[in-house]
Chains A and B, each alone.
Chain A
Amino acid sequence: MNEYILKINGLSVSFGGIRALDSLDLALRPGEIAALIGPNGAGKTTFFNCLTGLYAPSEGEIILFPEKDVEGVSLKGLKPHQITEKGLARTFQNIRLFAQMTVLENIMIGRHCRSRTSVLGALLRNAATRKEEQDIVEKSYAILERLGLALSVNELAGNLPYGAQRRLEIARALATEPLLLLLDEPAAGMNPQETMQLMEIIEEIAADGISILLIEHDMKLVMSLCQRIFVIDYGQKIAQGTPAQIRSNPDVIRAYLGE
């Protein structure tokens, strides 16, 4: 087992003259739940976008360590879909479901990079294609059941209640079989009950050995769920440590938590 699942060294990105991320170092351990917090505009979502290939970082290294792979794979410069294939999946801060597709189909999209059927296979619909399709449906359905969405399989994703949409985003990301799951404000807009449910789901996912890095403003959730917390402000890491350490860190209190 490697010590880390993801290692980021000196990650920087600039937009014009603005340095949105400034030589950020971060390392995640396998199976841990970590949080990335910071004030609005600190660069949290930019950081996620760099990791998942939506933005091209100007400097730095992003290395993913799949199990037993001591060398690791560099994710820098890969396209978003290649990064997902390597094992990094994410959700979005502003929900980005495929609204006109059914709940099940949304999950089935997540299986895309784990299946192979080509144009020819789709046209001929041979035994291999049918088997793969069956497999996609079964695996997708299993994920839906796990996240408590099985009752709305056939509903259009856009018609789901808000909390369920958030869960569906997580389900869709899980369908890609990630090693590391990036959650961008998963509890935003949820009521306390939905947040409780979400916390259980996140713990279950982590128990399966999937590492989780989440951005969140709900401090109760962050403090009770995460083993480690990273704090960034103005694109720079200002602190890292256990919830207790972060809570008493003067820099963090000044920049984010408040007195």
Chain B
Amino acid sequence: MPLSPSFQEIKRSFFIALWFVFLTFPLMVVKIDPLDRVVHWRWENMVYVGLAGFIFSFPGRWLMRRQQLRQGKPSGAGSAGFMPSAFIRDTGIRKIIILAFFCLALCFPLIFSPYQTNIMTTALMYVVLGLGLNIVVGMAGLLDLGYVAFYAVGAYTYALLNYHFHWGFWAVLPIGGLIAAFFGILLGFPVLRLKGDYLAIVTLGFGEIVRLILENWGEFSQGPSGISNISRPGFFGIALSLDEAILYLYYLMIILVLVTVFFVNRLQNSRLGRAWIALREDETACQAMGIDKTKIKLTAFALGAFWAGIIGVIFAAKTTFINPASFTFLESAIILSIVVLGGMGSIAGVVLGAFILILLPEYLRFLAQYRMLAFGIILVLMMVFRPQGLIATNRRTYIFVKKTDAET
């Protein structure tokens, strides 16, 4: 960054400041007091916004330029860069980190209050949802904006079976997953030929259809008033207090996250996982290499939906009350953000992304009304400066081991 910015630079910063003043005018300057029926004009805020915009535009532009320079480099910038992932690649250090996280996860409810544990359980649920969507979006490259539909299917499967037939949590858990997977295939068939934007719109529609059915088909789902008094997960027939139930669900989620990571990791490094990534990279070449596009697309939809269904069942059991309002497009958007922010196709990235996106708004509460603003700014900055996600996919380690196998 030049020490004395040129006139051009100053002019550009001035316009940026002006633009920000304009954008934030109704928010920061005008304040209407509905009780006294007067409008307060807070002109000093305008000055602050202008000054901040002017000053911050310099380092902002400098960072942008640096980013562009880095992107201009011909090779390996995306895959090799960024210290932490290179650091994590060292297996010894990685083992220690994983062990530390594991201990922390086990001790968490003992250290923190049930309230905190509850939040953490929610974050863990989003980890699994993110990993499920990661199969569809991250690996197979099928942009699914209606993922929440499968989550809803799982939740309502448990809620309805529990309400009408008093089926228990453990019996419904796999059923919820399987029914969601079936819905995944149901959605998969009509969209087999679609790609990119078109696929996104159809899946978006699918998500809305499921929600609207649940909202309007009163006899089936009890409409917007929802289903209440859903049983919590059973624990060998022992009645649990509320705090114990929270603890139980927390450990249940820890186990489920471990199981999911284990299986998704296996899928990723299998014949099927490779086929998904090939599909994402180039559909035509993928077919020409002998991959049955139909089959692997449907498998991706079904497997992705399966995890959403499982989490749906857990969600219903956790809150003991569900209604269609929990399954809006915003949920799909959040889960998709987890995948994109964390790093498409990267398991560690998705886990990290889920924690950041779910816990951050929770712990940003001290910022009160600015917390969503801060959240938005973080997302925008991420996409500008690290579009490949927090932890970019790294498929090399596995290959390297395999390669030495092949050489010997």
Contact = CB atoms under 8 A, between A and B. Distances in A.
A57 interface: no
B286 A109 contact: yes
Interface string A122-137: 1101000100111011
A105 B263 contact: no
Contacts of A104: 399, 402-403
B395 A81 contact: no
A31 interface: no
Interface stretch (B81-89, B210-218, B269-277, B313-321): B269-277
B292 A81 contact: yes
Interface string A100-142: 1110110011101111011101110100010011101110110
B407 interface: yes
A134 B405 contact: yes
A96 B280 CA distance: 12
Contacts of B288: 52, 54, 80, 84, 89-90, 92, 96
Interface size class of B (residues with CB under 8 A): 35 or more
B75 interface: yes
Nearest to A138: B406
Interface in A43-87: 52-54, 79-81, 84-85
B402 A101 contact: no
Interface string A167-183: 00000110010000000
B406 A117 contact: no
Contacts of B402: 104, 137
Interface stretch (A151-159, A187-195, A213-221, A250-258): A151-159
A133 B271 CA distance: 8
A258 to B, nearest CB: 33
A199 interface: no
A112 B274 contact: yes
Contacts of A89: 288-290
Contacts of A133: 270-271
Determine chain A's interface SS by DSSP, over half rule.
Answer: helix
B266 A98 contact: no
Given A100-B277, A100-B281, A101-B277, A137 B291 contact: no
A105 B95 CA distance: 26
B284 A54 contact: yes
A213 B68 CA distance: 44
Interface string B271-307: 1111101101110111111111100000100010000
Interface in B223-237: none
B271 A98 contact: no
Given A105-B274, A112-B290, A176-B289, A122 B267 contact: yes
A137 B290 contact: no
B287 A80 contact: yes
Contacts of A140: 406
A123 B260 CA distance: 11
Contacts of B79: 156
A102 B396 contact: yes
A99 interface: yes
Nearest to A157: B281
Given A123-B267, A137-B405, A138-B406, A101 B292 contact: no
A117 B275 CA distance: 12
A57 B393 CA distance: 40
A49 to B, nearest CB: 9
B270 A122 contact: yes
A97 interface: yes
A97 B282 CA distance: 7
A113 B291 contact: yes
B7 interface: no
A35 to B, nearest CB: 20
B287 A79 contact: yes
Contacts of B267: 119, 122-123
Interface in B374-408: 393, 395-396, 399-400, 402-403, 405-407
Nearest to A98: B281
B92 interface: no
Interface in B291-344: 291-293, 299, 303
Given A96-B284, A134-B405, A138-B406, A108 B290 contact: no
A99 B141 CA distance: 14
Nearest to B74: A159
A173 to B, nearest CB: 8
A188 to B, nearest CB: 17
B59 interface: no
A53 B275 CA distance: 19
A134 to B, nearest CB: 7
Given A98-B277, A101-B278, A109-B289, A136 B76 contact: no
A141 B289 CA distance: 17
A136 B269 CA distance: 12
A138 B286 CA distance: 21
B291 A125 contact: no
A98 B280 CA distance: 9
A154 B288 CA distance: 23
Given A109-B291, A113-B290, A154-B399, A96 B299 contact: no
A156 to B, nearest CB: 6
A123 B263 contact: yes
Among B274, B286, B290, find the residue whose CB has the most chain A CB atoms closer than 10 A.
B290
Given A96-B288, A98-B282, 12 more contacts: A54-B287, A81-B289, A89-B290, A92-B288, A100-B393, A101-B281, A104-B399, A105-B395, A109-B278, A112-B289, A122-B271, A133-B270
13 contacts: A80-B288, A84-B290, A96-B285, A97-B285, A98-B285, A110-B290, A112-B291, A113-B291, A121-B270, A122-B273, A132-B271, A133-B270, A173-B289
Interface of A: 52-54, 79-81, 84-85, 89-90, 92, 96-102, 104-105, 108-110, 112-115, 117-119, 121-123, 125, 129, 132-134, 136-138, 140-141, 153-154, 156, 159, 172-173, 176
